[in-house]
Amino acid sequence: MQKKPLEYYSDPLPGVDYSELHGKLIVIEGPDAVGRSTQITRLRSWLEHEGHAVLVTGMSRSALAGKGIQQAKEGNTFGPLTMTLFYATDFADRLENEIIPALRAGFVVLTDRYIFSLMARAIARGADRDWIEKVAGFALVPHAIYYLRADVQDLVSRVVVGRGAFDYWESGMDMRFGNDMYESFVRYQTRILRALDNMAERYGFRFIDASRPPDVIFKDLQASISDLFEPAQPRIASGPLL
């Protein structure tokens, strides 16, 4: 059965009030270095200019787990299972204490990644797909999921030009997918893309070609998101008036 926006995918978090949610939940998904943060910054400014209250959130930003995740990443001490459960805890805390209260207050919630990146990272590291979907099943169904999609070589170019170096975790070096960071990045991000591609139809991703210039991508997002706020048009009777 197709889930409606702001229903939960499976079982809700215990003790959390999911009622009376009036806002919009918009997800920007995609692999590392694809340009999600750039688009979210622009979308927030545009939405606020349009008169909407906006909350921006994203992975590893929770008060409960965010700092611990960063400390563990700095020491490269994560195992695959620990990483997955740590990020799931981070998401659960943000859902209960940030996302749901903001939606109840009528905010637009823009989230930089959602449960889909959490699941894709776990699957890329060998986790069972059914298990990780059950773990993340307490998530709310978004109003829209925009999947910024670019090929791996495009991602490589962005890392080299924009940052000048590969990141340990974005390269999947904890699993040693390759002999060096470049090779591991290519193989790991290929796995991430495959996992996200496989989720697209089931979860209703809206594909956005992220190989294009940022301005073009933003206009596409802007046009699509505008439709989420359009009032329903009255139906015009097709028969004779009585």
**173 occurs within a structural domain:** no
Is 180 part of a structural domain of the chain?
no
Assess if residue 98 is contained within a domain.
yes
Q: How far is CA 185 from the centre of its chain?
A: 20
Is residue 175 situated within a structural domain? no
Tell me, rounded to whole angstroms, the distance of Cα 190 from its chain centroid.
17
Burial class (CB in 10 A: 0-12, 13-18, 19+), 44: middle
pLDDT at position 231, please?
63
CATH no. for residue 99? 3.40.50.300
Residue 94: give the domain boundaries.
24-151+204-228
In a domain, 6, yes or no: no
- Is residue 240 domain-resident? no
Q: Residue 102 domain-assigned?
A: yes
Nearest Cα to Cα of residue 191 among 156, 159, 152:
152
The widest CA-to-CA distance across the chain, in whole angstroms, is: 77
How far is it, in rounded angstroms, from Cα 173 to Cα 183? 10
- Tell me, yes or no, whether 181 lies in a domain: no
Q: pLDDT per position in the chain (242 positions), as tens? A: 478 999 999 999 998 888 899 999 999 999 999 999 999 999 999 999 999 999 999 998 888 887 888 887 777 667 889 889 989 999 999 999 999 999 999 999 999 999 999 999 999 999 999 999 999 999 999 999 999 999 999 999 999 988 889 999 999 998 999 999 999 999 999 999 999 999 999 999 999 999 999 999 999 999 999 999 976 444 444 333 33
Cα–chain center distance at 95: 13
Q: What is the DSSP string of 34-50?
A: SSHHHHHHHHHHHHHHT
Global confidence as pTM = 0.90
Alpha-carbon gap, residue 202 to 197, rounded angstroms: 10
**Residue 92 confidence (pLDDT):** 94
Number of domains in the chain: 1
